């Protein structure tokens, strides 16, 4: 058969269809079994009442149709603004794709299939099957239609987003959030790292917070969390293993290991979990996770507590400040005035930033540090492109050389 292979397409369609069906069945089975994973907001008791969602209806796909019937206000309240706009994105562009397919595909199918080029296989419905003078205009006009529909949809959604954002910023709930009236300024000069000086520059400020150099404290917290995660995972694994061994012994009427409350009765001491300490690069030292690890977590807790007690005066100020104002109006006035302050000509300003969106390790980075990181990243990207260009060019030249020999 000339042209595209129908049999290859059908084979691939069946193969991928089977995989798709298997994954859907696995999802349906797991969704009904692990409700805490797939609908936690409806069953977890610690979820606040205003965020608690309605239980999902029974049925494999009943949840999907139930979601389609939910009003936007319900989704915004339960899933938040980010979740709502993600669902809206899926809905809008699914509508665009399906709508374009329903309108465009039947027309182009008829135009191409009767094109008269006598192609075979799937090529009969492709552009290559067209021989007439006017038939290509169908592709042209429909591409204009589809492109225009996409542009119109993007424009409409942009207008909706701007209107939604403005409406959200005027709600009492948003106005009550500290982030709505807090201004963040980075790369402050050293003579402005003083609260009194900043208050003279921003007389309407209510509170001022400077970021501090807490690198050592953050490193200790990361080490503590990493070791605690290993300890928790190992203990849970040992408990599960001991429970299985005890249940197996009871089932087979065998004696339970004694003492039954000691983990060494179920697991040999040499097989107890350990962790590696690296005091010197490439030199590792094994330690017992259940003894030394627990003591080390306690030491980290004490050290972290002592370091936190020194905050904020015991830590050096960095070049970023958060300034809270009494109202959003005063915050916006200060935001608009930052570019006109000669002391802040190298500073950037931000507002409406949730604390969870801030990378605190980078909050105190100055202008020079940011630019150097940007330069290094750009250099690495450029060198990567050059490397793969040279490698690809070499492969092409080698292929041409081998072809010329044969």
Total domains present in the chain: 4
Distance of CA 195 to CAs 39, 190, 262, 263, Å?
47, 12, 58, 56
Whether residue 191 is found in the same domain as residue 322: yes
The two tokens of residue 284 are: 């590792």
> Of the ranges 35-44, 234-243, 326-335, which is most confident?
326-335
Domain that holds residue 157: 70-169
Q: How confident is the model at residue 282 (pLDDT cuts 50, 70, 90)?
A: low
For residue range 150-170, what is the model confidence (pLDDT) as tens digits? 999 999 999 999 999 999 988
Identify any residues that bridge with 276 across adjacent strands, giving them in sequence order.
286
Task: Report the pLDDT value the prediction gives residue 107, as an integer from 0 to 100.
Answer: 92
Whether residue 305 is found in the same domain as residue 360: no
Whether residue 184 is found in the same domain as residue 249: no
Predicted structure pTM score: 0.68
For residue range 343-370, what is the model confidence (pLDDT) as tens digits? 898 889 999 888 888 888 888 787 888 8
- 28 within a domain of the structure (yes/no): no
For residue range 64-75, what is the model confidence (pLDDT) as tens digits? 898 889 999 999
- 148 within a domain of the structure (yes/no): yes
Evaluate the omega torsion of the peptide bond into residue 144 and state whether it is cis, within 30 degrees of 0. Answer: no
- 348 within a domain of the structure (yes/no): yes
Q: How confident is the model at residue 334 (pLDDT cuts 50, 70, 90)?
A: very high
- 250 within a domain of the structure (yes/no): yes
Q: Whose CA is closest to 212, among 351, 308, 350?
A: 308
Whether residue 350 is found in the same domain as residue 390: no
């Amino acid at each position: 058969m000339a042209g595209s292979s129908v049999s290859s397409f059908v084979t691939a369609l069946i193969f991928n269809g089977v995989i798709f069906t298997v994954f859907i069945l696995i999802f349906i089975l797991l969704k009904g079994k692990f409700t805490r994973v797939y609908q936690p907001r409806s069953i977890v008791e610690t979820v606040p009442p205003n965020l608690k969602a309605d239980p999902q209806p029974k049925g494999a796909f009943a949840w999907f149709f139930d979601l389609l019937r939910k009003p936007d206000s319900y989704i915004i309240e339960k899933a938040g603004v980010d979740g709502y706009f993600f669902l809206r994105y899926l809905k809008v562009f699914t509508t665009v794709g399906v709508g374009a397919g329903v309108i465009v595909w039947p027309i182009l199918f008829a135009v191409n299939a009767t094109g008269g080029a006598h192609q075979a296989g799937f090529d009969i419905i492709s552009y290559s099957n067209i021989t007439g003078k006017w038939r290509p205009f169908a592709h042209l006009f429909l591409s204009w239609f589809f492109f225009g529909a996409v542009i119109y949809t993007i424009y409409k959604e942009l207008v909706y987003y701007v209107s939604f954002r403005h409406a959200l910023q005027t709600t009492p709930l948003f106005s009550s959030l500290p982030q709505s009236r807090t201004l963040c300024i980075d790369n402050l000069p050293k003579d402005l790292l003083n609260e009194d000086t900043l208050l003279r520059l921003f007389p309407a400020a209510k509170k001022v917070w400077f970021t501090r150099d807490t690198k050592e404290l953050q490193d200790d917290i990361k080490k503590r969390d990493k070791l605690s995660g290993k300890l928790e995972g190992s203990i849970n694994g040992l408990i599960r293993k001991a429970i299985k061994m005890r249940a197996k012994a009871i089932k087979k009427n065998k004696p339970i290991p004694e003492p039954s409350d000691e983990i060494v009765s179920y697991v040999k001491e040499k097989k107890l979990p350990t962790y590696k300490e690296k005091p010197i690069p490439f030199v590792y030292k094994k330690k017992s996770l259940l003894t030394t690890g627990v003591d080390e977590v306690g030491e980290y807790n004490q050290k972290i507590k002592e370091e936190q007690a020194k905050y904020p005066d015991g830590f050096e100020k960095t070049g970023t400040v958060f300034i809270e104002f009494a109202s959003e109006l005063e915050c916006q006035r200060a935001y608009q005035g930052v570019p006109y302050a000669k002391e802040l000509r190298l500073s950037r300003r931000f507002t409406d930033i949730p604390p969870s969106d801030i990378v605190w390790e980078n909050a105190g980075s100055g202008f020079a540090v940011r630019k150097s990181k940007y330069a290094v990243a750009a250099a690495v990207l450029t060198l990567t492109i050059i490397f793969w260009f040279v490698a690809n060019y070499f492969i092409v030249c080698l292929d041409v050389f081998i072809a010329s020999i044969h």
